[in-house]
Structure 1
Amino acid sequence: MPAPTAGSPTPLTIRLPDGRRLGLTRYGNPAHRAVVFHHGFGSSGLEVPDNAALLTRLQLQILAPDRPGVGQSSVYRPLTFPSFADDVVAMLDALEIAGPVGVMGWSVGGVHALALAARHPARVAAAQLLSTCLPLGERTVYRHLSWVWKGLLWGQLGFPWLNRTTFLWLSRQWTRHPDRTLAWFIRGMRPAEAHATARHCTLLRDAAVQGFANHGRGVFDDAQAWCRPPGFRIEDVRAPVRLWHGQADGVWGPGNIPYLARRLGGAPMRLLPAQGHMLYLENWPAILEEMSALLAAAATPPL
């Protein structure tokens, strides 16, 4: 593993206890308070906006691990939400970060953030769910899914070979024609997502190329984990949680976000008008400001 520096961003690779590699990107100064960022589906830790000045002002560092099969992380076919939560704790141990950290998750990364907070409550000081999805494989969640997501769940579980073939084909497209592939995705997006993606096209393109590395194996395993029983209870999350969601989200509509907030003990919500699934890119300074305040509050002893 290369020596830590205060530069931003810094690629790192650690060795997990079972011998697998875990790749991650560090943004900011390693001496500052740590925040773990869980990337979205089909993406990687490169999707974090690089704003070194903001991180320095807030005295934060962002650690963005790549899930198994993504970027430099080893493929791990038995991937589950709990197994990756354990990988993240092993990452923190390897980086000698012992205290509670902040946790963020965008899209399906929000479910991974919840799993970490539920499985390792002593390691999580606060969490933010950014355009989060729900765990598709949880029975109590199923009735809250749209018919589109119910159909995708059925297809992923019923025809895994078809999804594996699709992700393999997409991996080749991202490797050979990344700009053309991104443009193709943008054409299929709703306006809120299309506009934000176009403004941040280089960041999202590079993140997707790494997301679909290893012949798309990591994307497929991530989808399988998402569709199976999650292996944790949302109600076991004890850290304070904040939800950010766009009212124009064309990927995961905001209709069941109040339901998730109730299961998190009435977690505060920010439902932003006219914003879509990429809202974290449009609101990054405000999101980091909130996380800084949450970590400060968690570190303040009660009177």
Structure 2
Amino acid sequence: MNDVVSHRLNLPDGRRLGWHEWGAENGKTVIFCPGAGMAGAIPFGEAAARRMGLRILSVDRAGLGASDANSEKSFASWSGDVASLLQHRGGNEALAIGFSQGAPFALALADTGLVNAVSVVSGQDELASPEVFSQLPEPVANMVQLAKDDPERLEADVAAIATAEWLWQMIETMSGPQDRAFYASETFAPLYRRALEEGFRQGAAGYARDTRLAMAPWPFRLEDIVCPVQLWYGLADTSPVHAPDFGETLNKRLPNSKLMRLENEGSAILWSHAEAILEDLAGMG
């Protein structure tokens, strides 16, 4: 954590955007879209990023961590926040990584042309799309149906029950033995729990809105995303809210994608295979 530097930016509408960065000092920007309820930083691939000339920016979405809440938060407003960040940094070329629930937020950046390439890692698919919805277990399908029929109700229901501890317990429950051992390890668990605590420091509203946006039909078409997208999935990932077919449908819908499936690996590949993920991303961008 010593290499992580944190910043805040005043946005045009008066809100503040928080992010946390590491890697090569003046490297190419990589916007990292963290998983569900996460803020702050759990660094990955620090040495590889320095060697490859990449600067990773882990951005807190509105209402999480150091980023002020936005009652109008949407994929469009998220892209606007990142556009302001890129303008602030004086560059117009960037890459993106989306982990778990962060996947649609990374793909939204690609849809708006803000990034030149994306890595989706253990990412959530568009669960509301018919080809994916039919594969979901009933409890997840019920949430996705509610996100389609009454998104305000889903958001309110999630906000009423979600806490950092609740989400930690849910992640542990949904994870297979391999991921559970990794996430609960003495070195990783304190970092993960701190990231969730940071994510919920303003309450549950930021996470609840993210969940509504991620589970409802996405307002952009995957078929229109022309930049390269690398899809990374561990075949031992048991999460029911990632991709039930380990990226197969995503790979079919995205016109310029490549699917990487790792045997005997779970969702924690962002940390266990960070060097390979960053190397491929740098090569695409």
Shorter-chain TM-score tier: 0.7 to 0.9
* Cα distance in 1 for residues equivalent to 2:252 and 2:168: 36
Counterpart Cα distance in 2 of 1:144 and 1:184: 20
1:96 shift after superposition: 1.2
User: Is residue 254 of structure 2 the alignment partner of residue 268 of structure 1?
Assistant: no
1:85 aligns with 2:79: yes
1:193 paired residue among 179, 200, 224? 179
- The amino acid across from 1:53 in the alignment is A
Q: Write the letter of the residue equivalent to 1:225.
A: L
1:77-110 deviation digits (Å, cap 9, x = unpaired): 2211222112111111112122x21111001111
Greater Cα shift, 150-159 or 104-113:
150-159
1:186 is displaced (CA, Å) by 3.2
* TM-fit CA distance, 1:148: 3.4
> Is 2:224 aligned against 1:236?
yes
Q: Which structure has the larger Rg?
A: 1
Among 132, 135, 142, which residue is 2:126 paired with? 135
- 1:166 pairs, out of 156, 161, 165, with 161
Q: Matches of 2:173 and 2:259 in 1, distance apart?
A: 30
State the TM-score, normalizing by the size of structure 1: 0.83
In structure 2, the residue matched to 1:61 is 55
Residues of 2 paired with 1:188 and 1:35: CA distance?
Answer: 29
- Structure 2 vs 1, CA of residues 187 and 223 (structure 1 numbering), >3 Å: closer, same or farther? closer
* Structure 2: gaps of 5 or more residues: none
Higher helix share: 1
In the TM superposition, residue 292 of structure 1 has moved relative to its aligned partner by 2.1
Q: What does residue range 1-303 of structure 1 map to in structure 2 within 5 Å?
A: 8-49=3-44, 51-98=45-92, 100-119=93-112, 121=113, 123-138=114-129, 141-154=132-145, 157=151, 158-167=153-162, 170-171=163-164, 173=165, 182=168, 186=172, 189-199=175-185, 200-251=188-239, 252-255=242-245, 257-265=247-255, 267-295=257-285
Once residues 243 and 216 of structure 2 are traced to their aligned partners in structure 1, the CA distance between those partners, rounded to angstroms, is 21
Q: What letter is aligned with 1:126?
A: A
Q: RMSD over aligned Cα, in angstroms?
A: 2.3
Q: Is 2:33–2:102's contact at 8 Å kept on the other side of the alignment? A: yes
Number of aligned residue pairs? 276
Q: Distance in 2 between matches of 1:145 and 1:187?
A: 17
Q: Deviations over 1:15-53 (max 9, x none)?
A: 11111111000112341111111001111241332x543
Secondary structure of the residue aligned to 2:37 is: coil
SS at match of 2:41: helix
CA contact (8 A) 1:34 1:62 kept: yes
Amino acid corresponding to residue 262 of structure 2 in structure 1: L
Give the conservation status (yes or no) of the 8 Å contact 2:97–2:103.
Answer: yes
Q: Which position in structure 2 is the counterpart of 1:301?
A: none
Per-residue CA deviations over 1:161-220 (Å, capped at 9, x if unaligned) read 3322112xx24x48xxxxxx8578536632122022123212212211111120122111
User: How many Å separate the matches in 1 of 2:171 and 2:248?
Assistant: 29
Q: Output the amino acid matched with 2:156.
A: W
Matched position secondary structure for 1:268: strand
Which sits farther off after the overlay, 195-204 or 240-249?
195-204
Distance 1:275 1:27, change over 3 A: same
8 Å CA contact 2:132–2:249 kept in 1: the answer is: no
Q: Which residue identity is paired with 1:227?
A: M
Q: What is the CA-CA distance between 1:283 and the residue it aligns to?
A: 0.6
Structure 1, unmatched stretches of 5+, are: 1-6, 175-180, 296-303
Secondary structure of residue in 2 paired with 1:117: helix
Q: What is the TM-score normalised by the length of structure 2?
A: 0.88
Quick one: structure 1 residues 292 and 31, their matched pair in 2 at CA, closer, same or farther if it must change by over 3 Å?
same
SS of the equivalent of 2:257 reads: coil
Q: Kindly, what percent of the aligned residue pairs are identical?
A: 27
Q: Which stretch has the larger CA shift, 149-158 or 212-221?
A: 149-158
